Amino acid sequence: MELLGLYHYWVFAILLMTGFYAVVAKVNLIKKLIGLTLFQAAVFLLYISVGMVEGGDAPIFTADNADSLFSNPLPQVLILTAIVVGISTTALGLAIVVRINEVYGTIEEDEIQEIDRR
Amino acid sequence: MSALQPHLPALQVIVPMLTAPLVALLRERQFSWLVTTAASLCAFAVAIALTMVVLEQGTISYEMGSWPPPFGIALSIDAVSALLLLVVTGASSLALIAGATSLQAQCESDRQPLFYAAWLLALAGLCGILVTADAFNIFVFMEISSLASYVLVAGGPDRRALPAVFKYLVMGTIGATFYLIGVGVIYLMTGTLNLADMEVRIQQVGEFQPFLIAAAFITVGMALKAAIFPLHVWLPNAYTFAPHVVTVFFAACATKVSLYVLLRLDFVVFQQNVGGHDVQFAYFMLPLSVLAILIASAVAIFEANLKRLFAWSSVAQIGYITLGASLISQAGLTASLLHMFNHALAKGALFLALACLAMSVAKLRVDEIGGIARRMPWTMAAFVVGGLSLIGVPGTAGFISKWYLIQAAFGAGSVGIALIIIILISSLMAVVYIWRVVETAYFGEAANDEAREAPLAILVPTWIAVALNIFFGLHPNLPVELSSRAAAVLLGTGP
């Protein structure tokens, strides 16, 4: 059962593909954005999960625990930045959807294309 | 000056990045434009100074906050980054100088300070990608520049800019996230994010399978951002509906910076360590480049909207750049990097000429510019020279890089001969789509009686770009020297 032992990779892959599917297959722009957020969140989980060291402590360094095993804090710091980036992207995407709704009166991709073709 | 000298790599990013919030606070249009242009020119001056140091001493390393790598984030500038820094900051400055007049026609006065702030952030992000030596830092700067550029593209007056920018945002984010996955996998295997450190540690790992996966994710992600065929679908509409000055800026440099990341990671980190990766890279890129060159040129021939015509032509030109890189030789990479420089000059001049044209012909359709050369002689003359450079006529910058590309193809054996034929065919296709515009403008029936020559404020920068095309066509020493050194850096044979 080694394949299932690395289950966090499976979670990553399934989430990633679910999000990707929504981005590609949905015509509703909000649903596309939800898919995009899921897509990014999967990658965040990949980073966070590999930072865990089995039996590792929280990496708080004091005088008397110099020998203990710590989890890797760097992926968390990286992902903190990536989450900020992800939120900005989602916010900007939603702002664009609001503008699209104001101008076109719809947020369905096929209807927007129909309006532009006319 | 000498006290600032060691800190030039950091200033390259800091100047535009710190000016951006300042400009956002200014509420006055003229003043904010002035500050933005000054900051951009400042960045250009820094880029020139850095290039001079690189030409003299080789690679510059800078430890951000004095933290030594691999713990801190290091900045490193070699010939590859210097070449592209010149392109990015130069294109930004020229587009901004021309920008005030052109933008006034397309964007309300009270929104312009915010527009300029986004411009500076995009510039800071692009410069940041070029100076940093840290894989995750590249991702952060990439997203700074991308988010700012979505805002810039959405600033256009045409409502179709909005769906175009949404598509750009979705595809750009997917590209960046793929890159992040690739970097994550490398980090898992090596425990480092510093590019130079990665190169060393990959050899120590010995297990290459994960790196191939990382290479695949990074290549596809950057191909999305760089609009490499067939992942270019966001580009034509984004370029067409963006404000004209933004198109000048992006057409000249935005996709090239993504190509830079692709080349940097693929050549420096993967190819020198992971066995057989160079062959995979070539087999992946070569067919795509050829398809890009032929199909995108063919689409351009039948396109009625002038901006979209040249957006398609950009997709084809990106094909030339990847074609040179996929030959994996000193000559091929030199041609590829040289074409990044020269294509920026040619496309910059062409899109500036289109911005002039747009002052009279708002819709920029081919059937609306009949006989316009009689009313706008300077604009159309600039367009013709830019077009000649794009085709690659001797005496213009475009000729130099095509010449190097053909030479590189000669060195590639029997495949090379086929490639030369393809390059010649696509140059003829470029003649066709440029000529179609020129013919209509010079010999067509007058379709527009109210057209007037564009104002000097925008005509002068256009002619500066045109003059640079001719200058670097006759004196190509600087870009050739830089790109051949850059090629040596990428192949690991030079300093």
Instruction: Give B236-249 pLDDT, tens digit per residue.
Output: 888 888 888 898 89
Its sign, for the CA torsion B234, B237, B239, B245, is: negative
Please confirm whether the linkage preceding A73 is cis (ω < 30° from 0).
Answer: no
Residues β-bridged to residue A70:
A57
The closest of B272, B257, B412, B414 to B331, measured between CA atoms, is B412
Instruction: Tell me which residue range forms the domain holding B378.
Output: 278-495
Q: For residue B358, is it within any domain?
A: yes
Instruction: Give B100-130 pLDDT, tens digit per residue.
Output: 888 777 777 778 888 899 999 999 999 999 9
Contacts of B467 (CB under 8 A, 6+ apart): none
A75 contact residues in B (CB cutoff 8 A): 187
Q: For residue B443, is it within any domain?
A: yes
d(CA B252, CA B340): 9
Contacts of B346 (CB under 8 A, 6+ apart): B386, B389, B390, B396, B397, B398, B469
Its sign, for the CA torsion B208, B211, B216, B217, is: positive
Name the interface residues of B facing A (CB cutoff 8 Å). Answer: 136, 139-140, 143, 147, 150-151, 154, 159-160, 162-163, 165-166, 169-170, 173-174, 177, 180-181, 184, 187-188, 193
Q: CB-CB: which of A20, A36, A43 is closest to B180?
A: A43
In chain B, how many domains are there? 1
d(CA B394, CA B398): 8
Residue of A78, A88, A101, A104 to mutate for B, most B C-beta atoms under 10 A: A78
Q: What is the mean pLDDT of residues B375-399?
A: 88
The closest of A87, A53, A46 to A73, measured between CA atoms, is A53
Q: Are B7 and B131 in contact (CB under 8 A)?
A: no
Domain ranges of chain A: 2-53+69-117
Interhelix angle B79-104/B112-131, nearest 10 degrees: 170
Coil/strand/helix, residue B70:
coil
Q: Which of A51-55, B65-69, B225-229, B413-417 has the highest mean pLDDT?
A: B225-229
B188 contact residues in A (CB cutoff 8 A): 50
* Chain-chain contact of A100 with B136 (C-beta, under 8 angstroms): no
Its sign, for the CA torsion B38, B42, B48, B51, is: negative
pLDDT attached to residue B372: 79
* Chain-chain contact of B169 with A103 (C-beta, under 8 angstroms): no
Q: How many helices (H) and strands (E) does chain A have?
A: 5, 0
- The amino acid sitting at B313 is S
pTM above the 0.80 mark? yes
Q: For residue B391, is it within any domain?
A: yes
Q: CB-CB: which of A43, A92, A97 is closest to B177?
A: A43
Q: Which residue of A has its CA nearest to B157?
A: A103
Q: How many helices (H) and strands (E) does chain B have?
A: 18, 2
Rg of the Cα atoms in chain B: 21
d(CA B199, CA B192): 10
Read off the pLDDT band of A41 (50, 70, 90). Answer: very high
Q: Is the pLDDT of residue B1 over 60?
A: no
d(CA B468, CA B479): 12
Q: For residue B416, is it within any domain?
A: yes
pLDDT attached to residue A34: 94
Q: For residue B58, is it within any domain?
A: no
Q: A2-53+69-117 adopts what CATH topology?
A: Helix Hairpins (1.10.287)
Q: For residue B318, is it within any domain?
A: yes
pLDDT attached to residue A2: 66
